[in-house]
Amino acid sequence: MTNEASIAAISNGNVRAISRAISGIEDEHPAYSELLKSLQFKNTPVIGFTGPPGAGKSTLISALLSHLNTLNKRVAVVAVDPSSPFSKGALLGDRLRMNEHYLLPNVFIRSMATRGSLGGLAPKVFEVCDLLKCANFDYIFIETVGVGQSEVEIAALADTTVLVLVPEAGDDIQTIKSGIMEIADVYVLNKSDRSGADIFYRNLVQLAHQTANKDWENPVVQTIANDKKGVEKLLDAIVAHQHSEHHHEKKIELLVKKAINLITQSRIKDLVPEEIKKNIQTEFSENFNLYRFVKRFIQSAK
């Protein structure tokens, strides 16, 4: 299929064409590198869902999909799963938890493997999101793998970052001040019917007020994802952020971070760990200078 035919099929929401293109991007096929350069991107909002394992991110997204389906909205979901230690592919856990939506015509769900990435995202998720922006979706949802405090990469990808927490995270405000708390635009207290939820909610509201700026104060939305409660308020909070000045200012910062990410990927793709290991083994001595060794690679990348 030619680039023009692929772009037309993707723009029309052809699921096979979208899936084939995503596979080509993940496999770094040269044809899809050229395809990305030819795309006309739409202003489709990318919503990132992050938070600790067990917070109910997948269940919350599933509840949102049910609500958006009643509104006849088209949604793409990229669920970043841990890699299989054997095939290096995604383990598909999150896609299984959303299986009630898998065959809906307005929903596209794709699992991507982290492939060793430590930031909660898959290596090619930036490019995949841009591809999906051309496919006539109303929303793109990204769910991180749930690796805790290190998953701040989502801030470089999502227009709106939703941080999902549960009462079990603790009622001491000091325990939730750092790390991923700082990258969120919307706080969600899921499983809000559990013990300790009221105290935790008040602490989140206090934190949101303390860190607010003139353009935006993070709303705190209480949900019970299993019962689909609170999802309408969550969608309202996401839409409100999309129309805020804070969101418009964030757009430029997002593009800067994405540009740096793409440039970094391009510069390191030719570095083969096994070859570097062989070179070090050959040159190693008690006086081996790692900085002189690395300088050769830095100069060749310029």
Q: What is the pLDDT of residues 173-191, one digit of tens each?
A: 555 555 667 788 999 999 9
Residue 104's nearest CA partner among 70, 131, 136, 142 is 70
Cβ-contact 205, 171 below 8 angstroms? no
Q: What is the pLDDT of residue 175?
A: 53
pLDDT of 88 reads 42
Domains of the chain: 1-38 (no CATH), 41-264 (3.40.50.300), 271-301 (no CATH)
Q: Give the chain's residues under pLDDT 50.
A: 83-94, 116-120, 147-150, 171
What pLDDT, on a 0 to 100 scale, did the predictor assign at position 250? 72
Tens-place pLDDT, residues 194-232: 998 998 999 899 989 988 888 899 999 999 999 999 999
pLDDT at 196: 87
User: What CA–CA distance (Å, rounded) separates 186 from 38?
Assistant: 34
Measure CA 247 to chain center: 17
Distance in angstroms (rounded) separating the CA atoms of residues 88 and 86: 6
Q: State the chain's maximal CA–CA distance in angstroms.
A: 68
